[in-house]
């Protein structure tokens, strides 16, 4: 089943291609076969390419550097992350706000870059921002809890449960959001990352394009496809990550296109027949 | 309003007196006025006294040492904690079980003392035990998450949100339980501490007394009084901790007795009129 939209339009006909990272461009620790070639082919075809990731620990520069280390032709300006979107969201809502962070150095860096005042001294704050914190300590948890109890606006960078790594699975932001919820009973006031629409809304502003001119490419029905749906953006599901065919068949959430791998995208950048869902 | 039970029985007529600690015997950082004298008077009157605390970080010896440092005449054998009750519960359910701990050294010590095998190397485990972990790290959180995802039986030492300290409020076990819940979607299979009845059930076995011969003394309607109710134990609420009179009046949960402070208990250890609820 393809939607009316995808039936009318070739996979190669969009102006911009937005990529999820984990499970779409890279496996844990290495690039997915054909992914680098696909991004290169899009650039040759003068398409805009943008990385759109829920990653809550890396700054924009850090994410670009990570992808370049795998061989992807990605600059800092090609990256939109939930970290940056969080910083922009708060800076728009309350310029210069005081922020308590339960999260990584990359998150702190981007918040400061957006003109926000990151406080770690227990002073009153306007916002509590929670992402994945690989350097978590009990004192950090205590400061975050106190900020939540004192009524700071509670922003979750995302609610991803798992981060896949060559060494095994690691806890994502959901664990830290759950810690604050458990200690205070509070839910996040705002969630920035996918499946929330906020990340993609900010990316569209950055691109200056309507959603219908962009194709979102990801591996997750519950984050990528839902986020694309929420902003009316066509979406392509790849089967190299968290979704298998049985899950896809059973799901109420359906993408516009399905490919086994992002590498197959290259075929559609030359004159080609209408895309069909493969792998069934 | 006193219950039928308390109307029939003087506060001085019980065989055993079970004390909550924080807000009942000690404020953050110092003993509550008259509390040491009350425990001494009970001992002079040949009453059994027992500490019954949700504390999830100290071993039994550690809790006794802490109370002695404040001047209370408490030995290790006078202490029942959620930590010990957790160790006993698991050792009874599955002797020698392999246990992954997200919690303190005191918790690990008591689990080992009960003959359980505390594993920190990522090996498969039978149980995941979660309490407050003042030395928490991301690696510890990751190991606990993986044990929960692998299906280990999930035991929470307690679900207390806050620990009061002279330096401010700190997160209790509920934050760490919430972290596991957030990362995995799992709820604890068993909660040991108050308001669960398991801690008091074990204490009754230790005392060898029926619940009706014991008086539970605590400062919290939602943990102490509920736990006593759950095992049919008479209970005395003191107003030196988390409960104020307005909260007490509005509550569906009512204790059998109320005193402003545990120090007033001394009056009832001599021939005295029937107790009345004071402070109204």
Cα–Cα distance list, B137 to A59, A171, A255, B103, B142 (Å): 22, 12, 38, 11, 9
**B4: Cβ contacts below 8 Å, ≥ 6 apart:** none
**How does A134-153 read in b/e, with b if 16+ C-beta sit within 10 Å?**
bebebebbbbbbbbbbeebb
Q: How far apart are CA B271 and CA A267, in angstroms?
A: 95
Axis crossing angle, helix B173-184 with helix A173-184, rounded to the nearest 10: 140
Average pLDDT over residues A157-170: 89
Say whether B149 and A136 touch across the interface (CB within 8 A): no
Q: Looking at beta carbons, which residues of chain A come within 8 Å of B145?
A: 169-171, 175
Q: How long, in residues, is chain A?
A: 280
Cα–Cα distance list, B247 to A112, B28, B235, B243, B278 (Å): 43, 21, 17, 6, 15
pLDDT of B274 strictly over 60? no
Q: Token digits for B101? A: 């701990």
In tens, the pLDDT along A30-83 reads 999 999 999 999 999 999 999 999 988 898 999 999 999 999 999 999 999 999
Say whether B137 and A136 touch across the interface (CB within 8 A): yes
Q: How far apart are CA A222 and CA A211, in angstroms?
A: 19
pLDDT of A1 strictly over 70? no
Where does the pLDDT of residue A29 fall: very low under 50, low under 70, confident under 90, or very high at 90 and above? confident
**A155: Cβ contacts below 8 Å, ≥ 6 apart:** A86, A89, A90, A127, A128, A129, A130, A188, A189, A190, A191, A192
Average pLDDT over residues B259-268: 95
Q: Looking at beta carbons, which residues of chain B come within 8 Å of A136?
A: 136-138, 141
Say whether B175 and A137 touch across the interface (CB within 8 A): no
Q: Which domains does chain B have, with CATH numbers?
A: 4-54+195-269 (3.40.50.1000), 95-191 (3.40.50.1000)
Q: Token digits for A167? A: 């060494």
Where does the pLDDT of residue B6 fall: very low under 50, low under 70, confident under 90, or very high at 90 and above? very low
Closest to A218 measured CA to CA, from A248, A192, A184 = A248
Neighbour count for residue A217 (Cβ, 10 Å): 27
Q: How far apart are CA A20 and CA A138, in angstroms?
A: 32
Where does the pLDDT of residue A7 fall: very low under 50, low under 70, confident under 90, or very high at 90 and above? low
Would you state the pLDDT for residue B8?
Answer: 63
pLDDT of A188 strictly over 90? yes
Strands B257-259 and B235-238: parallel
**A180: Cβ contacts below 8 Å, ≥ 6 apart:** A102, A128, A130, A144, A145, A148, A154, A186, B175, B178
The dihedral of CA B120, B124, B126, B128: what is its sign?
A: positive
Q: Token digits for B60? A: 């039994």
* Cα B196 to chain centroid, rounded: 10
**B169: Cβ contacts below 8 Å, ≥ 6 apart:** A142, A145, A146, A149, B162, B163
Report the residue from A135, A168, A183 with minimal CB separation from B178.
A183
Residue of A131, A157, A171 to mutate, interface with B, max B Cβ within 10 Å = A171
Would you state the pLDDT for residue B278?
Answer: 56
In tens, the pLDDT along B90-125 reads 999 999 999 999 999 999 999 999 999 999 888 999
pLDDT of B44 strictly over 70? yes
Q: How far apart are CA B197 and CA B202, in angstroms?
A: 9
Strands A235-238 and A214-218: parallel
pLDDT of B28 strictly over 90? no
In tens, the pLDDT along B192-226 reads 999 999 999 999 988 999 999 999 999 999 999 99
CB pairs under 8 A between A and B: 96
In tens, the pLDDT along B57-102 reads 898 999 999 999 999 999 999 999 999 999 999 999 999 999 999 9
Which residue's structure tokens are 């992808």? A67
Say whether A175 and B171 touch across the interface (CB within 8 A): no
For chain A, the farthest-separated pair of C-alpha atoms sits apart, in whole angstroms, at 61
Say whether B175 and A182 touch across the interface (CB within 8 A): yes
In tens, the pLDDT along A105-121 reads 999 999 999 999 999 88
- Share above pLDDT 70 across residues of chain B, in percent, rounded to a whole number: 93
Q: How far apart are CA A194 and CA B27, in angstroms?
A: 45
Would you state the pLDDT for residue A274?
Answer: 53
Q: Looking at beta carbons, which residues of chain B come within 8 Å of A182?
A: 161, 174-179, 181-182
Where does the pLDDT of residue B273 fall: very low under 50, low under 70, confident under 90, or very high at 90 and above? very low
In tens, the pLDDT along A215-243 reads 999 999 999 999 999 999 999 999 999 99
Q: A238-242, A276-280, B29-33, B209-213 — which is least confidently predicted?
A: A276-280
Instruction: Report the gap between the CA of B29 and the closest CA in chain A (Å).
Output: 18
Average pLDDT over residues A189-208: 93
Q: Token digits for B37? A: 């004298």
pLDDT of A165 strictly over 90? no
Average pLDDT over residues B140-155: 97
| B residues 149-168 closer than 8 Å to A (CB) | 149, 161-162, 168
* SS3 track for chain A: CCCHHHHHCCCCCCCEEEECCECCCEECCEECCCHHHHHHHHHHCCCEEEEEECCCCCCHHHHHHHHHHCCCCCCHHHEEEHHHHHHHHHHHHCCCCEEEEECCHHHHHHHHHCCCEECCCCCCCCEEEECCCCCCCHHHHHHHHHHHHCCCEEEECCCCCEEEECCEEEECHHHHHHHHHHHHCCCCCEECCCCCCHHHHHHHHHHCCCHHHEEEEECCHHHHHHHHHHCCCCEEEECCCCCCHHHHHHCCCCCCEEECCHHHHHHHHCCCCCCCCCCC
Would you state the pLDDT for residue A3?
Answer: 46
Q: Is A170 on the interface with B (CB under 8 A)?
A: yes
Q: How far apart are CA B49 and CA B29, in angstroms?
A: 22
Report the residue from B134, B145, B174 with minimal CB separation from A171.
B145
Would you state the pLDDT for residue B165?
Answer: 82
Q: Token digits for A49? A: 């390419």
């Amino acid at each position: 089943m393809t939607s009316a939209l995808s039936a009318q339009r070739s996979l190669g006909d969009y102006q911009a291609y937005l990529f999820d990272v984990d499970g779409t461009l890279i496996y844990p620790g290495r690039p997915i076969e054909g992914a680098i070639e696909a991004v290169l082919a899009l650039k040759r075809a003068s398409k805009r390419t943008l990385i759109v990731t829920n990653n809550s620990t890396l700054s924009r520069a850090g994410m670009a550097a990570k992808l370049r280390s795998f061989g992807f032709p990605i600059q800092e300006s090609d990256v939109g992350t939930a970290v940056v979107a969080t910083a922009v969201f708060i800076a728009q809502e309350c310029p210069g706000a005081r922020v308590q962070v339960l999260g990584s150095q990359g998150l702190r860096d981007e918040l400061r870059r957006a003109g926000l005042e990151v406080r770690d001294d227990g002073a009153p704050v306007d916002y509590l921002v929670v992402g994945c914190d690989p350097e978590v300590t009990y004192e950090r948890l205590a400061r975050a809890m106190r900020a939540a109890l004192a009524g700071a606006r509670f922003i979750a960078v995302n609610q991803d449960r798992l981060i896949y790594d060559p060494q095994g699975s690691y806890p994502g932001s959901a664990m830290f959001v759950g810690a604050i919820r458990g200690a205070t009973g509070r839910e996040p006031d705002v969630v920035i990352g996918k499946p929330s629409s906020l990340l993609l809304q900010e990316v569209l502003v950055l691109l200056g394009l309507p959603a219908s001119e962009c194709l979102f490419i990801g591996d997750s029905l519950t984050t990528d496809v839902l986020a694309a749906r929420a902003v009316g953006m066509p979406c392509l599901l790849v089967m190299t990550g968290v979704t298998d065919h049985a899950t896809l068949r059973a799901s109420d959430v359906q993408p516009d296109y399905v490919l086994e791998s992002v590498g197959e995208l290259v075929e559609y950048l030359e004159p080609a027949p209408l895309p069909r869902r493969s792998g069934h």
